[in-house]
A and B are shown apart, each in its own frame.
Chain A
Amino acid sequence: MSVDLAPPRGISTFALQLRRFRQNGLSMASVVVLAAIVALCFLGPLAFPFTGEDADFDFISAPATFSWPHLFGTDDFGRDLLVRVLEGGQVSLTIGFLGALVAGVIGVLYGAAAGYVGGRADGLMMRVVEILYGFPYVILVILLSLLFGGGNIALFAAIVFTLWLTPAVIVRAQAQSLAQREFVQAARAGGMTGPAIVLQHIVPNCMSIVIVYGSLLVPEVILSESFLSFLGIGIKEPQASWGNLIQTGTAAMDTDLRLLLLPGGLLATVLLCLNFIADGLRDAFNPNDR
């Protein structure tokens, strides 16, 4: 009897990591839930004949009756709660993912350049990071959003400006050891310029560590945004965001918890999912750290 033995198929590290991530049930479930929430936030409001800023004067402070058109009722301006929460989600999620991406890119480039160049330039660049690290993070965000004059762009800039530090430090440590490796020396001997080496050799080799820490940046950015909006410094009425919706809900909580529970619950679910995904990524990329 002969058994057909397929020759072992080569598998890339990335495919292996992806496979390990897929085996993590909690993380995969989180991905599904998160995708559902994102889809709901961006597509859901289209199903309603009004926007979150339209007041319906026949239904002011309507309770949650789960009936058309106001499934979860309205707020005290007659605006549909569910649509407002979904639209707020668009803002919070966009700032979260975009903010993490931009902060990540800035941090990676800065860290890779510092680690590759080394010497005095590296010392100076890292001293800047160290000083910024010593600042109380929230205070810095509040000061910067005051400087940029409020509004979405200002908020975004302030958050990005304070969150690029961690990726920079992590990547710099990695880049420092990569810069000593033979393939980098070979590239230099072959006549590649510094920026090209950083972009084509250093950065790709830092990717796995960047993905792991980057996935932790997303919940941090979302949390910062809602924190500031809750205090009244970030996104302001009438534009909805989870932070200012929760703030409105807090003011009305002795009569009506629904205004607090819906945005608060959604925010907590998203943060929970993002944390589980980050855990899964960490386990998949460095299985020894578990």
Chain B
Amino acid sequence: MLRFIGKRLWHGGLTLAALVTLTFFVMRLAPGGPFSRNRKISPEVQANIEAAFHLDEPIWQQFGRFVWGVLRLDLGPSTRHRDYSVNDLIASGLPYSLTIGFWAVVVAAMVGVALGLAGALRRNSATDYLAGIVGVVGIAIPIFVIGPLLQATFALRLDWLPVGGINNGWHSLILPVVVLALPNIAYISRLTRTSMIETQRENYIRTARAKGIGWRRVLWRHTLTGALLPVIAYLGPATAAIITGSILIETIFAVPGIGRHFVDAALNRDYPLVMGITLLYGGILILFNIATDVIRAVLDPRIRNER
């Protein structure tokens, strides 16, 4: 088990190192710099600015400086927002992104598993069809279509909820969380349904019933624990989906989170901020992938003993 975790951590570190390198060189090779705007500035000023951000050093030295900064968790100043460091900007945005992401995961997991269970237990019932429709809609209609539609309906026409922003407490959270959770509800309910149906046919379920255990206990203790394995395996991809979604959600609902910062930074070629947020996202994703693998290995000895 320890060896397994060690191997996963080593691979995760390798991925992170590759991500650091790739991000750095992509941002340096990309055409146009943060200061190559149309505004005319004298060569002395240009040289001064480049010296201040160390853009005049050879690229290997810049890379070394960057790696050293990452190791000390110091991502340097933003080139776009004067007087703010990348850390300041991430610290200001992260709470909003985390709040929305956290509730979206909770809602998606609870509603998704409940819908999937209901569908599997009463196949071809009204609930099953409802779950099927939610599944199809959630997967096929992109966030950036359903988000504005819900905004137009519940905020502009009915005036029940705020259109966007963050100033109305938990009221502002409802629409972003629901929209962000929807695609994941769809995946999780589909996954739960198929794996519940498969697990119900397993021999060990029949054995449990034959031993005289009541169906309710078999359902909660035997079927559900087995059936939720693929759902837990979806935790990694779900994190990626939530990250992707939160970039859109924060743009649509005008939330000042890190996803919004990321898009702005990419459009403005704010290198340090793009690199900082990329590393943060990459780190979160790698961590969750490792966590997923470890949880699955704890639950399922077949995975643990893979070579």
Interface residues of A (CB under 8 A from B): 130-131, 134-139, 142-144, 146-147, 149, 219, 223, 226-227, 230-233, 243, 246-247, 249-250, 253-254, 257, 260, 264, 267-268, 271-272, 275
Contact = CB atoms under 8 A, between A and B. Distances in A.
B11 A250 contact: no
20 contacts: A130-B15, A134-B282, A134-B289, A135-B15, A136-B282, A137-B244, A143-B23, A143-B27, A149-B30, A149-B32, A223-B142, A227-B244, A231-B248, A232-B263, A233-B263, A257-B152, A264-B141, A271-B141, A271-B142, A275-B136
Contacts of A135: 15, 19, 22, 282, 285
Contacts of B145: 246, 260, 264, 267-268
B142 A134 contact: no
**Residue of A136, A231, A267, A271 with highest tally of chain B CB at under 10 A:** A136
Interface of B: 11-12, 14-16, 18-19, 22-23, 26-27, 29-32, 136, 139-142, 144-145, 148-149, 151-152, 156, 240, 243-244, 247-248, 251-252, 262-263, 266-267, 269, 274, 278, 281-282, 285-286, 289
Interface SS of B by simple majority: helix
A138 B259 CA distance: 11
A267 B251 CA distance: 20
Contacts of B141: 264, 268, 271-272
B263 A275 contact: no
Contacts of A275: 136, 139-140
A273 to B, nearest CB: 9
Contacts of B278: 136, 139, 143
A253 B142 contact: no
Contacts of A260: 145, 148-149, 152
- 5 shortest interchain CB distances as A-B pairs: A134-B15, A264-B145, A272-B140, A271-B140, A250-B148
Contacts of B244: 136-138, 227
Contacts of A231: 247-248, 251, 263
Contacts of A142: 262-263, 266
Contact of B240 (A137, A232, A253, A272): A137
